[in-house]
Amino acid sequence: MASFRKRNSLWQAQVRSRSLGSVSKSFHNKADAIAWAKIQEAMMQTGEWKPKDKCYSTVGDLMQKYLDQVTPYKKGAEPEIRRLNRLLKENALMQIKLDDARPHHFATFRDKRIKDGNRACQYDLVLLRAAWNTARIEWGWDLGDNPLTLIRFPKSNPPRERRLREGEYERLMAACAQTKVWYLQPLIIFAVQTCMRRSEILSLEWKNIDIERSRALLPTTKNGRSRWVPLSPKVIDLLKTLPRENERVFPITDVAVRQSWDRLRKRAGIIDLKFHDLRHEGISRQFESGLNIAQVMAISGHQTASQLFRYIQLADTDPINM
């Protein structure tokens, strides 16, 4: 069965078959679109027509190819790989044929996934939408309109405002003393003192640390710009105690840190504290020390002053001495 629609200045023809799938093509005038569709229908009836990319027939096939060919070359590849591997386990959605995929399929997935949080659900929907667009535009797959553009995305959660509460730092340090994981205590101190993101800390190399000037260079950051981060005397003393057996200061993986942090937090009896909250704590402390917005922006890497306003409010809370 053929259908036609005008998109901008082009006519798109789409021919569907329950057994063979679908094929679509755009033309400058409707007459050419109709003529092409008739040929496709005739070829389907005689068995001459063969679908393109038949090996990529399901949503799961699409996401696997995106994982294999697109994600590894992204700047934030590691967390996206984790999200995609989790997404690929959603059998109900992944087994749907691309020709049969409709907005309600993704809406059903959204309503289920949102129970894990708005942000997690947003990430998954964005990945699904991006993969569909990539398949159509870059891979030349004969797909219809992106169904992800027709469903509601969950609203963003309000920014976290979690800081260390009274006694929590001491409990974290006590828990660190009870574990054989050598890097946990240095990581916590580093995160609070430098306001660096976890990914920035883990990518930091010895060659980019200037002990004499008490600073560290981050050649690549989240916003794409390099920056120098000042190092406090406490961090300098800490660096002098760490082994230099690797080019990286902390030669560990993001996954290892996540798992170790979760175990440490539970051992310390602390609820709802994420490693990234230590960066929040550090930025708030910079304001408490008397630095202005421009100075803190240079340290934290934020690009706009508005992104830091909430930290000024957080800095009004009672600080925890470290």
How far apart are alpha carbons 44 and 26 in whole angstroms? 19
CATH classification number, 59-150, choose in 1.10.287, 3.30.460, 1.10.3210, 1.10.150 = 1.10.150
Helix (H) or strand (E) holding 7: strand 2-7
Average pLDDT over residues 277-296: 85
- What number of other Cβ atoms are within 10 A of residue 60's Cβ? 19
| Neighbour order of strands in the sheet with 209-210 | 209-210, 215-218, 227-230
Q: Same CATH topology for 59-150 and 168-314?
A: no
244 class by beta-carbon count within 10 Å (0-12 exposed, 13-18 middle, 19+ buried): exposed
Instruction: Name the one residue in this structure whose structure tokens are 């001459």.
Output: 48
Q: How far is CA 207 from the centre of its chain?
A: 28
Domain spans, the chain: 2-46, 59-150, 168-314
pLDDT class for 275, splitting at 50, 70, 90? very high
Maximum Cα interatomic distance, the chain, rounded to a whole number of Å: 79
**CATH class of the region 168-314:** mainly alpha
**Kind and range of the H or E element at 166?**
none
Mean pLDDT value across residues 31-43: 87
Instruction: Indicate which residues carry an active-site annotation.
Output: 197, 222, 276, 279, 302, 311
Residue with tokens 């755009």: 26
pLDDT of amino acid 263: 94
The model's pLDDT over 204-236, given as tens digits with 9 standing for 90+, comes to 999 999 999 999 998 877 766 788 999 999 999
Tokens of 232: 């406090």
- Tens digits of per-residue pLDDT, 162-176? 888 999 999 999 999
Average pLDDT, the chain: 85
Dihedral, CA atoms, 58, 61, 67, 73, nearest 10 degrees? -100
Confidence of residue 299 (pLDDT cuts 50, 70, 90): confident
